[in-house]
Amino acid sequence: MNIAFIAHDKKKNDIVQFVTAYEKVLSEHNLFTTGTTGQRIMEATSLVVHRFQSGPLGGDQQIGARIAENEMDCVIFFKDPLTAQPHEPDITALIRLCDVYSIPLATNMATAEILLRGLERGDFQWREIVKGKSEDQS
């Protein structure tokens, strides 16, 4: 599975702790992140992640492009709801793409934990079917 991780500045510590707690599960998947978040995750774990640009420099849009191409299976985005973000339109577009393409999206730790528990159980196998259908239509 291809899993994207994004975190606003005030949530970076939380996402690093979260990824550290689920390192074993995540080591079996392809991980993608925005710039600084990815750097922090790699410093704290032994995971290898593909880093895009930072969010304000287009990283959210790069992940969105992967969603639109059906190349992302899950997005975990620890948003800071109490701080205005200068790239809010990009964030809104990313969330919209998750809705359009039925990509599971967690915007907080509680929902992220539920998604990863489902991933552990194999509840994401339907994504392989969806990917196969989109490849057949190409």
Q: Which residues are catalytic?
A: 60
Q: Which residues contact 90 (CB under 8 A, 6 or more apart)?
A: 55, 56, 58, 60, 61, 64
For residue 29, the one-letter residue type is H
51: left (phi over 0), alpha (psi -120 to 50) or beta: beta
122: left (phi over 0), alpha (psi -120 to 50) or beta: left
